[in-house]
Amino acid sequence: GAVVSQHPSRVICKSGTSVKIECRSLDFQATTMFWYRQFPKKSLMLMATSNEGSKATYEQGVEKDKFLINHASLTLSTLTVTSAHPEDSSFYICSAPDRGVAPLHFGNGTRLTVT
């Protein structure tokens, strides 16, 4: 069935550096992808909606300049955490809808640790 691949699964970086996370739809095209952040023992918070060929739509309170989203093709969206700080340490998950239905397909997530 349809699969969303997210890479890397884990990353450790130093404070002040940038980290890029990729989200790919493997056997379907996704004009829209969603990026979520999950805090420990908390629910998923939608950060932004990635739109192929246009600017991402960010949720209130999410810094656009810190969390850069690029959706350059119908199968790839990237989230770049710029100038990372320890408080950015979290679990980031992407999701993509298949054929316009609800975002049923999730990546396995990326565990980011900023030291």
Q: How far is the CB of 83 from another protein (least distance, A)?
A: 26
Q: How far is the CB of 81 from another protein (least distance, A)?
A: 18
Closest CA to 7 of 74, 96, 94: 94
- The strand pair at 19-25 and 44-51 is best described as unpaired
Residue 72 interacting with another protein (CB under 8 A): no
Binding mask 43-62 for another protein (x = CB under 8 A): xx-x--x-------x-----
3-state secondary structure of 101: coil
Residue 24 interacting with another protein (CB under 8 A): no
**Tokens representing 28?**
């379907």
Closest CA to 88 of 21, 6, 29: 21
Binding span for another protein by CB under 8 A among 13-21, 42-50, 66-74, 77-85: 42-50
Residue count, binding to another protein (CB under 8 A)? 21
Q: How many CA atoms lie within 13 A of 13 on its CB side?
A: 24
Which residues of the chain form contacts with another protein (CB under 8 A)? 6, 32, 34, 41-44, 46, 49, 57, 93, 95, 97, 102-109
